[in-house]
């Protein structure tokens, strides 16, 4: 673990076996990276197990990497094959796809996030938001404390269900909602999974550890409701029903289906790409809410920014990109 030192790149001192994993596990990735950036500057390195992570927050260098010399940097780093669940289909999701496959998926998905597409899905967010407001008002009238994180998790899953899949869930009123529990369970697998930790610390043994993770995943699916399999199965059922009914919906899944049909000169997304993207939406959105809720400073900055913006200007979906702190969270 002396690579960064040899190249003169500063950063926190790593442990011999687990690098900087312990600090990240205790304080969270967002807090640690922010703290290290203040201490070591916009360019520094740290270790996840034996795996090197180079942080670059220098705009001019990022411009070279992301735009001018993208061909040399198009491959996306895959931390662990099949993710910590050992599910090979997860290699095709947006956050795991490498090289030009990632660029291809991203190009197609960009068509699903235009202003017009977002506007058409806004109506599906009204009911979940009204439910949240009603619940908060009840707590306020009673003068009771409440767990805002749990409320926002339920809100997130209801909005995903409606705006992404066109289906209604009851996650805000039912803490045992299957969709919500499956997405939440994903966060309990990684840090507590011994095989996952070993793959991080000893990547040279990944050829041996990956088949063991695959076997463990299959055994779990035989005897329990495994969250990754559950979410992917539900996504596939919705996808097949949508194709069978041949009915247009104003949601993200429909936008991805349309993008698949309309993309010219690109390999289109297969069912694995569509279902894994739908699966990752369920967990990624909860991650964003979790980061915001656990970071009080970021939450305050987001709140002040949004109040100032919406008081001074008329709300438009196209303007969301100009909200600096909101975009840090997303």
Specify the pTM. 0.55
Q: Same domain, yes or no, for 65 and 92?
A: no
Q: Same domain, yes or no, for 22 and 59?
A: yes
pLDDT, mean of residues 82-110: 64
Helices (H), the chain: 3-6, 21-27, 29-40, 59-63, 99-110, 115-121, 126-142, 148-165, 178-189, 194-201, 206-223, 227-245, 252-262, 271-294, 296-312, 324-329
What average pLDDT does the chain have? Answer: 73
Q: Same domain, yes or no, for 83 and 117?
A: yes
Residue of 7, 43, 1, 39 whose CA lies nearest to 20? 1
Query: What is the CATH classification number for the domain harbouring 103?
Result: 1.10.630.10
Quote the distance between the C-alpha of residue 304 and its chain's center.
25
- Residue 192's pLDDT is 55
Higher local confidence (pLDDT), 171 or 274:
171
Q: Same domain, yes or no, for 103 and 66?
A: no
Classify residue 314 by its DSSP letter: -
Q: What is the pLDDT of residues 277-308, one digit of tens each?
A: 544 544 455 555 555 556 667 677 777 776 66
Scan for tokens 């977002």, then name that residue.
118
Domain count, the chain: 2
Q: Same domain, yes or no, for 88 and 60?
A: no
Q: Same domain, yes or no, for 204 and 271?
A: yes
If phi > 0 it is left, if psi is from -120 to 50 it is alpha, else beta; for residue 55 that is: beta
- Residue 262's pLDDT is 53
Q: Same domain, yes or no, for 18 and 127?
A: no
Q: Same domain, yes or no, for 98 and 116?
A: yes
Give a yes or no: residue 209 inside a domain: yes
- Residue 149's pLDDT is 82
Q: Same domain, yes or no, for 128 and 271?
A: yes
Q: Same domain, yes or no, for 10 and 99?
A: no
Q: Same domain, yes or no, for 101 and 205?
A: yes
Higher local confidence (pLDDT), 54 or 230:
54
Band (pLDDT 50/70/90 cuts) for residue 15 is confident
Q: Which domain holds residue 67?
A: 1-73
Distance CA 207, CA 221 (A): 22
Q: Same domain, yes or no, for 69 and 175?
A: no
């Amino acid at each position: 673990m002396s690579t960064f030192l040899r190249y003169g790149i500063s950063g926190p001192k790593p442990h011999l076996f687990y690098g900087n994993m312990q600090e990240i596990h205790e304080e969270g990735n967002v807090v640690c990276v922010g703290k290290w950036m203040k201490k070591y500057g916009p360019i520094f390195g740290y270790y996840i197990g034996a795996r090197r992570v180079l942080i670059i927050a220098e705009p001019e260098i990022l411009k070279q990497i992301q735009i001018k010399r993208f061909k040399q940097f198009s491959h996306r780093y895959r931390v662990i094959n099949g993710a910590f669940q050992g599910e090979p289909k997860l290699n095709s999701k947006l956050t795991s796809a490498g090289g030009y496959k990632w660029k291809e998926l991203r190009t197609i998905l960009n068509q699903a996030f235009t202003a017009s597409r977002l506007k058409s899905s806004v109506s599906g967010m009204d009911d979940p938001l009204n439910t949240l407001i009603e619940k908060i008002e009840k707590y306020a009238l009673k003068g009771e404390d409440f767990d805002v994180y749990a409320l926002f998790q339920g809100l997130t899953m209801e909005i995903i269900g409606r705006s992404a899949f066109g289906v209604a869930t009851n996650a805000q009123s039912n803490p045992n909602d299957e969709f919500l529990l499956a997405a939440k369970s994903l966060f309990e697998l990684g840090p507590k999974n011994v095989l996952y930790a070993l793959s991080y610390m000893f990547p040279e043994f990944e050829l041996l550890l990956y088949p063991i993770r695959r076997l463990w995943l299959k055994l779990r699916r035989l005897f329990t409701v495994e969250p990754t399999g559950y979410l992917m199965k539900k996504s596939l059922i919705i996808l097949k029903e949508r194709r069978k009914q041949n009915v247009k919906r104003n949601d993200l899944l429909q936008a991805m289906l349309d993008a698949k049909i309309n993309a010219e000169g690109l390999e289109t997304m297969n069912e694995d790409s569509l279902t894994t993207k739908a699966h990752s939406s369920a967990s990624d959105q909860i991650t964003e809410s979790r980061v915001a809720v656990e970071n009080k400073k970021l939450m305050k900055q987001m709140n002040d920014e949004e109040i100032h913006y919406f008081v001074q200007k008329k709300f438009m979906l196209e303007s969301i990109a100009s909200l600096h702190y909101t975009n840090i969270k997303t």
